[in-house]
Amino acid sequence: MSVHTVKEILASLRRKESKPSEWTESALRMIEQHDPTIGAFLTVDGERALERARRLDGEAFDGALFGVPYALKDNICTRNLKTTAASRILESYIPPYDATVAQRLAATQGVLLGKTNLDEFAMGSSTENSAFQLTRNPYDVKRVPGGSSGGSAAAVAAGMVPFALGSDTGGSIRQPASFCGVVGLKPTYGRVSRYGLIAFASSLDQIGPFTRSVEDAAFVLQAISGHDERDSTSAPRDVPDFVRGLEGGVKGLRIGLVTGLDEHGVDAEVQAAVGKAVQTLQDAGAEVVEVHLPHLRYAVATYYLIAPAEASSNLARYDGVRYGRRAAGQSLAEMYENTRSEGFGMEVKRRIMIGTYALSSGYYDAYYRRAQQVRTRIREDFEQAFKRCDVIVMPTTPTTAFPLGEKVDNPLQMYLNDIFTIPANLAGLPALSVPCGVSSEGLPIGLQLLAHWWDEATLLRVGHTYEQARGFAMPLPRMGA
Amino acid sequence: MKISEETVRHVAALARLSLSDEEVAHLAPQLSEIIGYAEQLQQLNLDDVAPTSHSLARTNVFREDEPRPGLARDVALACAPDSTDEYVRVPAVLEG
């Protein structure tokens, strides 16, 4: 197995040592060979991808991702290509329009290979909530790839594509990146347009890349960032040159090490790997300071009121009228209920129920409003912390990838796994997961870095510096048993 | 916070979900546990804390009110499970 970064593919294409169609063919071969085991893709659009790549063969190198194959999480709308959100209710939905990110990547002349598996409507931390299939961790196929963007993470880890996009509402890019040993980036809320992203929790959702290196993440972020008038929450701000910003090192930068994480059950090997990574950054010239996030312990409770509340509202649109599946019913109300009950899986129903309860009369102030107030506190914790440091360091997850089936019957245990990723979404901060080691069982460990609002440049620079200095390459996944 | 099966049925009706008896029995203890976990937010003193609904404080975003092409009707209707040439069709809303 040989895998390549976006940078390597671009360099080879630019020097005319290879043709776009060869990269697409080789990616399709990898999918054919490994995806029956891994289950990363819901749709492989092979013929159209080859057609596109062959057309590029005859063209001059142009476009930032010219000829580079990639995949999109299947909650990102693609015109004339099925987009299911891994839900029965959208099982045969073919969007009549492209998400802005899909449009932007097409404009860079990348080659879309297909759509990847996820937890239904991005609700989950293991991809086990997909209505269609399991995705397996390429490092150990008896374990989960993480979620909800498990398909994108596994596809990149397995070398099927050099990059993929996911969405991150409470950790759905960073947690699977950590579990699968790849780089995952959640940009600042508002950096990347959400137009055409099937909404889960609109105040938290953000699209970002999975890649094999931090530098590649900078390439892809550059291509998808920027204001979009079709998403009123996308920020009218200039986009810095992320790739140029990678160099310069960390000398003089202050790294904030979060104290008091022990109470969250951090695995000893995870703790050791993160500690070693902090030492590496210190050796590279960074100054390490301690920071405290007193409301971190309330993040999961806060998130699991706010996100389901927003979801219960967003998912009201699936009523069998304008698109998607419709079930029979004598009356309109019965048709709605039957459609939703047959179309949604158990976790989606659970979250709609939590959200509806938290928003219902008599409980709104006690639950939803209170959660929004704690969200303010969590944001203030970060404001305080960033007075003392430039970048905050934490593990991405308390443990390495857990076995398939282990948490499916215990939703609260599944939710608690998101403790370190949720705060960035509640505050809207950019955050990056970079592989920082492998456990004694051969499972990847992720280092999470968080930076100040809009400062992806510093985030990527610290991540890149660490990656250059860490002194090891991630071992390739075993793929089989 | 113990959430009864009756409450589960009430909330399901609000959310336009029809749950089987099995699902109700399954959800009641799970929702009790999850909402029970969220009870810890009651410990905090939040008297003067403003709620955050959005991490990015933005007010209304306007554009010039100029007509421009939108999604064509036939394209939009092609997504609908049941439609005529001009409309989406649904079961009768009013009796008689």
**ipTM of the complex, rounded to two decimals:** 0.95
Chain B positions in Cβ-Cβ contact with residue A303 (cut-off 8 Å): none
Q: Give the closest residue to A293 by CA, choosing from A170, A429, A402.
A: A429
Chain B positions in Cβ-Cβ contact with residue A94 (cut-off 8 Å): 79
* Beta carbons of A338 and B8 less than 8 Å apart: no
* Beta carbons of B34 and A411 less than 8 Å apart: yes
pLDDT band at A2 (very low <50, low <70, confident <90, very high): low
Tokens representing A59 are 């063209």
CB atoms closer than 10 angstroms to residue A92:
11
Contact A147, A56 (CB under 8 A): no
Is it the case that residue A361 has pLDDT exceeding 90? Answer: no
Q: Best of B6, B16, B45, B95 to disrupt the A interface by mutation (most A CBs within 10 Å)?
A: B16
pTM for the full model?
0.97
* Segment A463-475, tens digit of pLDDT: 999 999 999 999 9
| Element holding A333 (H helix, E strand) | helix A332-343
Q: What is the pLDDT of residue B51?
A: 95
Q: Nearest-CA distance from B11 to chain A in Å?
A: 6
Is it the case that residue A326 has pLDDT exceeding 70? Answer: yes
Chain A positions in Cβ-Cβ contact with residue B75 (cut-off 8 Å): 96
Is it the case that residue B96 has pLDDT exceeding 60? Answer: no
* Beta carbons of B91 and A96 less than 8 Å apart: no
Q: Nearest-CA distance from B62 to chain A in Å?
A: 9
Q: Best of A340, A373, A380 to disrupt the B interface by mutation (most B CBs within 10 Å)?
A: A373
Lowest mean pLDDT among A86-95, A116-125, A408-417: A408-417
Is it the case that residue A118 has pLDDT exceeding 90? Answer: yes
Q: Nearest-CA distance from A337 to chain B in Å?
A: 5
Percent of chain A with pLDDT over 70: 99
Q: Nearest-CA distance from A72 to chain B in Å?
A: 21
Average pLDDT over residues A475-479: 91
* Segment A48-79, tens digit of pLDDT: 999 999 999 999 888 899 999 999 999 999 99
Residue of A nearest to B7 (CA): A357
Q: What is the bridge-based pairing of β-strands A206-211 and A254-258? A: unpaired
Tokens representing A184 are 């995952």
* Segment B27-72, tens digit of pLDDT: 999 999 999 999 999 999 999 999 999 888 777 888 899 999 989 9
Q: Give the closest residue to A352 by CA, choosing from A414, A304, A415.
A: A304
Specify the amino acid at residue A220: V
The residues, any chain, with a CB within 8 Å of residue A308's CB and separated by 6 or more, are: A201, A351, A352, A353, A354, A355, A358
What are the φ/ψ torsions at residue A150 (nearest 5 degrees)? -65, -35
* Beta carbons of B55 and A411 less than 8 Å apart: no
* Segment A3-20, tens digit of pLDDT: 899 999 999 999 999 999
Average pLDDT over residues A353-382: 96
Residue of A nearest to B53 (CA): A372
Is it the case that residue A23 has pLDDT exceeding 90? Answer: yes
Contact A75, A115 (CB under 8 A): no
Average pLDDT over residues A403-431: 95
Alpha-carbon distance of A213 to A246, in angstroms, equals: 12
Q: What is the pLDDT of residue B60?
A: 84
Q: Give the closest residue to A206 by CA, choosing from A236, A178, A233.
A: A233
Alpha-carbon distance of A449 to A417, in angstroms, equals: 17
Q: Does A323 touch chain B (CB under 8 A)?
A: yes
Q: What share of chain A is helix, strand, coil (3-state, %, to 5)?
A: 40, 15, 45
Contact A394, A381 (CB under 8 A): no
Residue of B nearest to A349 (CA): B17
Q: What is the pLDDT of residue A1?
A: 54
Q: Best of A357, A361, A369 to disrupt the B interface by mutation (most B CBs within 10 Å)?
A: A357
* Beta carbons of B91 and A370 less than 8 Å apart: no
Q: Which of B17, B80, B88 lies closest to A341 in CB terms?
A: B17
Is it the case that residue A481 has pLDDT exceeding 60? Answer: no
Q: Does B57 touch chain A (CB under 8 A)?
A: no
Chain A positions in Cβ-Cβ contact with residue B82 (cut-off 8 Å): 326
Alpha-carbon distance of A92 to B65, in angstroms, equals: 35
Q: What is the pLDDT of residue B1?
A: 72
Q: What is the pLDDT of residue B95?
A: 64
What's B41's DSSP letter?
G
Alpha-carbon distance of A166 to A206, in angstroms, equals: 9
* Segment A192-226, tens digit of pLDDT: 999 999 999 999 999 999 999 999 999 999 999 99
Alpha-carbon distance of A123 to A204, in angstroms, equals: 13
Average pLDDT over residues B4-12: 97
Q: Give the closest residue to A427 by CA, choosing from A385, A390, A468.
A: A385
Strand, coil or helix: A447: strand
Q: Give the closest residue to A104 by CA, choosing from A2, A207, A20, A19.
A: A207
Q: Give the closest residue to A183 by CA, choosing from A154, A215, A212.
A: A212
CB atoms closer than 10 angstroms to residue B81:
18
Alpha-carbon distance of A418 to A405, in angstroms, equals: 17
Alpha-carbon distance of B5 to A338, in angstroms, equals: 20
Tokens representing A219 are 């390439």
Q: What is the pLDDT of residue B59?
A: 78
Q: Give the closest residue to A402 by CA, choosing from A110, A60, A144, A162.
A: A144
Chain B positions in Cβ-Cβ contact with residue A189 (cut-off 8 Å): 55-56
| Strand partners of residue A72 | A115, A165
User: The tokens 């397995």 sit on which residue?
Assistant: A158
Chain A positions in Cβ-Cβ contact with residue B26 (cut-off 8 Å): 346
Q: Nearest-CA distance from A413 to chain B in Å?
A: 10
Q: Nearest-CA distance from B94 to chain A in Å?
A: 9
* Segment A235-276, tens digit of pLDDT: 999 999 999 999 999 999 999 999 999 889 999 999 999 999
Alpha-carbon distance of A17 to A325, in angstroms, equals: 47
Alpha-carbon distance of A187 to A450, in angstroms, equals: 10
Residues 220-239 of A with CB under 8 A from B: 229, 232-233, 235
Active site residues per annotation of A: 73, 148, 172
Q: What is the bridge-based pairing of β-strands A41-44 and A111-116? A: antiparallel
Is the preceding omega at residue A148 within 30 degrees of 0, hence cis?
A: yes
Q: Which of A97, A371, A412 lies closest to B41 in CB terms?
A: A371
Residue of A nearest to B58 (CA): A233
* Beta carbons of B55 and A366 less than 8 Å apart: no
What are the φ/ψ torsions at residue A36 (nearest 5 degrees)? -55, -30
Q: What share of chain B is helix, strand, coil (3-state, %, to 5)?
A: 40, 0, 55
